[in-house]
Structure 1
Amino acid sequence: MPLEIVTVPCLSDNYAYLVHGPDGTALIDAPEAGPIIDALEARGWSLGVIMLTHHHHDHVGGVAELRERYGCPVMGPKAEEAKLPKLDMALDPGFSGGTGEGRCEVIAVPGHTLGHIAFHYPEAKAVFTADSLMALGCGRIFEGTPDMMWDSLSKLMTLPPETMVYSGHEYTASNAAFALTIEPGNEALISRARAIEAARAEGLPTAQVALSVELDTNPFLRATRQSVKTAVGLPDGTDAEVFAEVRKRKDSF
């Protein structure tokens, strides 16, 4: 049974994801309950489990209402257990569970927060990255360090390029505008920025994209490229140093 993945817009610019497969229906992050309940009821699904990526309120605000309504367990990173709603299962990096395309692996991706995790479905070629790797960007480094975030992104970059990346916010248009300040001559980026503008004009989500596209256009992943090193004035910088400079520039963009 292939996975069916439903993107659920929440709050002003968040996304939650319903993952429906051989083991039932999982929810990845719970910004608010209402839109998630509506999406479940529209499909006649019940919620089997809530899976949290990190402790920020805009990713966990709907947990209490959803747990009360569906009686489902809640999973999340063990490293952030004290900051999360009550967990029924605390997850360590490397944990794996589920069957077929529903098999999920937990990847540590600290930086935005210290215990941030991503959920990777290798057979389904999907990864849910929340506020670590984002469409044309990455999350702000609130708790970790640039080196930590670069290590996390480097891990995600090794996934198969056809992997679909599902991130946590609709920041893509502003991320594209920033990316063009780093690589104004990147034809793939120019084309993608135009497509994003057209999609957003129609109200369509753009934070769900193949890793291969990110590798070609996301300046945070392209810190390995000499063209990016030169663009930020660090032609001899390490990849981590160049990433840190790109992140610094985005913070004040």
Structure 2
Amino acid sequence: MKVLVPVKRVVDYNIKVRVKSDGSGVDITNVKMSMNPFDEIAVEEAVRLKEAGVATEVIAVSAGVTQAQETLRTALAIGADRAILIESDEDLQPLAVAKLLGALVDKEQPQLVILGKQAIDDDSNQTGQMLAALAKLPQATFASKVTVADGRAQVTREVDGGLETLSLSLPAVVTTDLRLNEPRYVTLPNIMKAKKKPLETVKPADLGVDVSPRLKTLKVVEPPKRGAGVKVPDVATLVDKLKNEAKVL
């Protein structure tokens, strides 16, 4: 069974982002970049499926700038077998990425596509669902447990009321949640081995996909600073402040 794992290069989750002075976006100059945490969970799950003898090949794929090769090398170090970079300097929006991944699904014919439920930079939570729709594949989102056997995937997913278990016929698309697994620590020997694994580079035009932006960012602003808290002597004062100052009552 072949597993395709899309991964995204994002600002590291430990970094406090800064908005550009002109309000056009987030400043990523000289900022540490890393793999989207949800995608790292997806890679780990795919590698575990291979280690269990369920999957035979794990393919990591990323769409973006040349530097995304570093993110793919991390996926290879975790245990992916090969990688594909769809190289583009365009601002790739979820629909464009879904179309690119759809073209790769047609080319590679994976039995399972597993990716993070969302990226921590734009928090769109759209790519997996759009890919499933474009490729006409069954989907399960927010997976906290995945079991694959007999041509089907059993996916336990988190919903507002608790847990829901779905049974999907393969091929299928699964998006991962935080509780699915704990990604392994990447060791130096595996980082060295990853340098020798194949990494293919293609262009969106090679896949016949138009990645022109459909949405325009008008302005990016930082959230307002929170005011300092105050102590109140009694409940009556608290209620008065909530009613007349905070205007929440």
TM bucket (normalised to shorter chain) is under 0.3
Is the helix fraction higher in 1 or 2?
Answer: 1
User: Which structure is richer in relative contact order (CA contacts within 8 A, separation 6 or more)?
Assistant: 2
Is the strand fraction higher in 1 or 2?
Answer: 2
TM-score (structure 1 length as normaliser): 0.28
TM-score (structure 2 length as normaliser): 0.28
